Amino acid sequence: MPQSDLFGAPAEAGDAATPTPAHTPAPNPAQMAAALRAQLNAHAHRYYVLDEPSIPDAEYDRLFQALQTLEAEHPALRTPDSPTQRVLGQVLDGFQPVRHAVPMLSIRTETDTEASGAEAFDARVRRELELPEDAPPVQYAAELKFDGLAINLRFEAGVLVRAATRGDGETGEDVTQNIRTVGQIPLRLQGEAPPVLEVRGEVYMRRDDFEALNERQREQGGKTFVNPRNAAAGAVRQLDPAIARQRPLSFFAYGLGEVQGWAVPDTHSALLDALAALGLPVCAERTVAEGATGPRGLVAFHQAIGAKRDQLPFDIDGVVYKVNRRDLQERLGFVTREPRWAVAHKYPAQEQMTVVEGIDIQVGRTGKLTPVARLKPVFVGGVTVTNATLHNLFELRRKRVRVGDTVIVRRAGDVIPEVVGVVPAAAGADGLPLPRATYVPNFRMPRTCPVCDSTVLREPGEVNHRCTGGLFCAAQRKQALLHFAQRRAMDIEGLGDKLVDQLVDAGLVRTLPELYKLGLLKLAALDRMADKSAQNIVTALEKSKQTTLPRFLFGLGIRHVGEATAKDLAKHFGQLDRIMDASEEHLLTVRDVGPVVAHSIRTFFDQPHNREVVEQLRACGLSWPEHDGASSIDPATLPLNGKTLVLTGTLPTLSRDEAKALIEAAGGKVAGSVSKKTSYVVAGEEAGSKLDKARELGLAVLDEAGLQALLASGPAATAAPEPGDTAPSAPHHDTGVP
């Protein structure tokens, strides 16, 4: 996409660029910094707020680094609205108090989750406004009630100068340095900004970000968070902004604090539109109930959002109704510390208490064993929950969950219900917890899989226990089939998710060998399977029988054995039987195979049923070329022995996978990035930053013909060039996007 000239007047994101005339004077550092800030802020708005990125990440990084360099050379150019300021900040001893110019008041909650809740609010508003029964309906704005942390953002002359929590409503805490890490919050407002504008909204954490954060915490043995709101609040109140930046936060604006020099729109809905025009994120899930609908419009909104609540990417605990006209809001005023013109209409709670009646084990598609609490049925998050995940043994023990405990269960959206904590036992007269009526031992993970009876292992440093019977275990059947059939394994074209579901659910395929016993009639009898499609699957299965040893090894799904390791094993041993019988000590002699990988391979082939599956596949006709192993291959004779190559762009006839396979077969290694250790860069059409880096380092650059010539040469012809040498058949195109 064309960009504005970096050092001229910044264009709007997405506008075509106007080239700088040749006679234009060179820009000074201040102009350059201003242009970079404008571009970066515009691109960040498109990325975080509009979800419409206009440039690749690599280009954004390049602009960001250019601004960082400029500010390092000229510290006086560093401004509060600079994108570089999102990543700075010192660790604090504590938060400074902030007195709110306009108090941050609470909102009345309507706990009646039925339609009558909205009707009761409308009746109160009409009564307070002293409207006759035949008066027109009151116009309302309806929006979501986010389950996060309320924040006040103060912008002066359009620049974010302070962010504060609600606190007690009168005084909050200064959390500016942490709020600067939230990508959705602009450091400078767009357009013409007033002298002072305080924007109020909610900092929250998306469900997918929350689940990913907790999963990382579990893998690292750290503390997990009870819910997205707690995680968001904890991130905002971190004294170290570096920690806050690691926790993905989002933001929605919904109101105002102090305003100076700005004409506030006449309605709340128009206010939200105005905030969006200033570059602030405003939730699209809102409406205006007007005309003849009156409270019925609020009821419809409450019900519609309730129906789609589980599909929202973030948690809400209700919707908010506000009298839309600002003049009517002023007439209604406040009661105690709550506005009369607004109310929060709740939904059923997403956390409830219940009792653990048992702890079972669930085996997932990848073989992971998960302890699951069997619960006394409880209605939570709109459904009756009878089971909730405990994630893993260490999480279960950290939460001290045992059978008979009263626990808090959470269900939000499509997230699997989970036990988030144990309710403390009741205290006796001495203040100490009352003892259990009966002793309940700590839960222990089984030593064998409850589905297939294979050995259960937990690798050193990992928190998850796994079943080792991947090819045999019924719980892993679909995953094993999909992995086996994928393009980089056996490449069985047409065997995707939907067909695997049909084959397994119909009982037609229970093990990998049964794939090759499928006939045309069985396949054609499946729903939505035409004769031609069935024939294509049969043809693809037959074609896949002629494969390579690395592909077959990778297709078996041995834990930690990826494509590269499978190739190393095949190259070293040459024959499948030698790999199956190799000791851990022998496996450790293979390049890049360490103790964890060696133990995983040995454990896999120690399972009799895994060996049986392999033998049955060979009996079905699967075959591949074999050789005598590493002893018969002299690596020094391979043309690319010891060389590292990087691929970029599109080659004329070779796909990236094909080029990589040729390079590896010739003894070379394919890396993902260019460095001084790179021997050659192979560049095709639309090569980009990698080609730039190669030229900057003076590396040899080849096109496809040059690569083929190199592959056909002997080892002596592939000596790495001196920096600055020109390689044969170098491409003559310029840079693009890699």
Which residues participate in catalysis according to the annotation?
Answer: 145
Whether the Cβ atoms of residue 549 and residue 522 lie closer than 8 Å to each other: no
- Burial degree of 555 (CB within 10 A; 0-12, 13-18, 19+): buried
The CA angle 457-463-466, to the nearest 5 degrees, is 30
Distance CA 414, CA 427 (A): 36
- Burial degree of 270 (CB within 10 A; 0-12, 13-18, 19+): middle
End-to-end CA distance of the chain: 14
Q: How many other C-beta atoms can be found within 10 angstroms of the C-beta atom of residue 425? A: 13
Please name the residue that has the structure tokens 């031992």. Answer: 441
Distance CA 137, CA 623 (A): 78
Whether the Cβ atoms of residue 121 and residue 277 lie closer than 8 Å to each other: no
Whether the Cβ atoms of residue 413 and residue 208 lie closer than 8 Å to each other: no
Q: Is 265 left (phi over 0), alpha (psi -120 to 50) or beta?
A: beta
Residue 97: which H helix or E strand, with range?
strand 97-99
Give the distance from CA 33 to its chain's centroid.
32
Whether the Cβ atoms of residue 162 and residue 156 lie closer than 8 Å to each other: no
Q: Could you tell me whether strands 644-648 and 669-671 are parallel, antiparallel, or unpaired per DSSP bridges?
A: parallel
Per-residue DSSP letter, 458: -
Cα Dmax for the chain: 99
- Burial degree of 597 (CB within 10 A; 0-12, 13-18, 19+): buried
Whether the Cβ atoms of residue 66 and residue 3 lie closer than 8 Å to each other: no
Q: Smallest Cα–Cα separation from 235: which of 181, 313, 298?
A: 181
Q: Radius of gyration of the chain from Cα atoms?
A: 32
What's the full length of the chain, in residues? 738
Q: At what angle do helices 704-712 and 656-665 cross, to 10 degrees?
A: 20
Q: How many other C-beta atoms can be found within 10 angstroms of the C-beta atom of residue 60? A: 18
Going from the C-alpha of 35 to that of each of 4, 24, 58, 251, the distances in angstroms are 9, 16, 18, 26
Q: Smallest Cα–Cα separation from 144: which of 325, 3, 311?
A: 311
Residue 97, token pair as written in the block = 């108090």
Torsion of CA 593, 597, 598, 604, to 10 degrees: -140
Please name the residue that has the structure tokens 């905002």. Answer: 236
Distance CA 521, CA 534 (A): 8
Distance CA 44, CA 38 (A): 10
Per-residue DSSP letter, 223: P
Distance CA 481, CA 555 (A): 9
Question: Residue 520 forms beta bridges with which residues?
Answer: none
The CA angle 162-164-167, to the nearest 5 degrees, is 160
Per-residue DSSP letter, 512: G
Whether the Cβ atoms of residue 165 and residue 172 lie closer than 8 Å to each other: yes
